[in-house]
């Protein structure tokens, strides 16, 4: 009750005054009930899982837009037309109203994997040049050394490949020591050609918990790489062409467990990480 102050009006009653009108403004994230912020699942020992995105105070020009890939039966929706749908829970109470438009994936696919790899590595080369310029301006005692994994990248003998996780990925093992190296076992046929680049890798590992209401018991905890993580590998130039088809397959199918539920979606050298 810290949000309210009490004043004695008279001996027969108490007057309540609100501290601020801001208390009347709804905040969607504050109404999340026991949701783990990283794994987006219910917290341990809690079964409530209601959450909503609040758009009541959003201006029309700043409306929230979500983009993604979806597979739908041919002819179900007309390409290019806009439709009004309701998604999520409590639709009958007015929640979840959205406007959705479908476009052919091929029209918006953009740059190929090879093109994205080349563009990322072109940006890295520019960064090396700028780094050397700034380093040369410093005194000998203050000059920074190159990162050990950058020698071949700097010489142009290797390319950097990044795996940008668009959704959480469930790992097929129960213990992790160095997840960047352990995940190489999932790249069948070319994992041995990749070398982990630690400095350009940003991984957050969490546990995914669940509850089986049919058997009335907790599910076994699973280890996940959380959405937004990036794992980077180096590969020799002569080996790059051999794995492009396999990289396309990974983007199409994903990696890890329970991919049919949306886990394990990745994008190779995503535009999002060109400025790492």
| Of the listed ranges 25-29, 74-78, 104-108, 232-236, the one predicted with least confidence | 25-29
| Of the listed ranges 20-24, 112-116, 192-196, 234-238, the one predicted with least confidence | 20-24
Average pLDDT rounded to a whole number, residues 29-54: 58
CB atoms within 10 A of CB 253: 11
Q: Is 235 within a domain? A: yes
pLDDT score for 50: 62
Give the CATH number for residue 119: 2.60.40.4350
CA distance 98 to 84: 6
Backbone angles phi, psi at 79, to 5 degrees: -65, 130
Report the Cα 66 to chain-centroid distance in Å: 13
Residue numbers of the domain that contains 161: 111-273
Q: Is 55 within a domain? A: no
Q: Is 188 within a domain? A: yes
| Tens-digit pLDDT profile for residues 100-123 | 888 876 644 568 899 999 999 999
Q: Is 136 within a domain? A: yes
pTM: 0.65
Q: Is 248 within a domain? A: yes
Q: Is 54 within a domain? A: no
Mean pLDDT score of the chain, rounded to an integer? 79
Q: Is 173 within a domain? A: yes
Instruction: Using the predicted structure, report yes or no on whether residue 172 has a pLDDT greater than 60.
Output: yes
* CA distances for 198 relative to 6, 180, 181, 225, 234, angstroms: 57, 8, 10, 16, 10
Where residue 2 falls among pLDDT bands split at 50, 70, 90? very low
- Give the DSSP letter string of 82-118: EEEEE-SS-GGGT--EEEEE---HHHH--S-HHHHHH
Q: Is 27 within a domain? A: no
The number of folded domains in the chain is 1
| Tens-digit pLDDT profile for residues 219-249 | 788 899 998 899 999 999 999 999 999 999 9
Instruction: Using the predicted structure, report yes or no on whether residue 174 has a pLDDT greater than 80.
Output: yes
Where residue 158 falls among pLDDT bands split at 50, 70, 90? very high
pLDDT score for 109: 56
């Amino acid at each position: 009750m810290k949000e309210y102050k009490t004043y004695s009006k008279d001996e027969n009653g108490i007057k309540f005054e609100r501290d601020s009108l801001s208390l009347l403004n709804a905040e969607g994230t504050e109404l999340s009930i026991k949701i783990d912020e990283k794994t987006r699942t219910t917290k341990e020992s809690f079964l409530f899982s209601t959450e909503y995105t609040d758009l009541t105070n959003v201006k029309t020009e700043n409306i929230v837009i979500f983009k993604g890939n979806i597979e739908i039966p041919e002819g179900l929706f007309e390409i290019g037309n806009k439709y009004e749908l309701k998604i999520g829970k409590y639709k009958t109470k007015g929640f979840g109203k959205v406007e959705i438009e479908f476009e052919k994936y091929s029209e918006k696919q953009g740059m190929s994997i090879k093109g994205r790899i080349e563009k990322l590595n072109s940006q890295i080369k520019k960064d090396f040049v700028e780094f050397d310029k700034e380093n040369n301006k410093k005194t000998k005692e203050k000059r920074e050394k190159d990162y050990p994994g950058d020698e071949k990248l700097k010489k142009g003998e290797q390319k950097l490949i990044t795996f940008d996780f668009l959704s959480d990925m469930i790992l097929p093992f129960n213990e992790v020591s160095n997840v960047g190296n352990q995940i190489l076992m999932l790249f069948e046929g070319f994992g041995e050609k990749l070398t982990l680049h630690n400095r350009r890798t940003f991984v957050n590992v969490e546990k995914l918990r669940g509850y089986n209401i049919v058997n009335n018991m907790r599910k076994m905890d699973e280890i996940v790489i959380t959405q937004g993580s990036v794992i980077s590998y180096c590969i020799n130039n002569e080996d790059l062409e051999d794995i492009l088809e396999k990289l396309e397959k990974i983007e199409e199918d994903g990696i890890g467990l329970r991919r049919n539920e949306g886990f394990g979606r990745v994008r190779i050298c995503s535009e999002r990480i060109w400025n790492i």
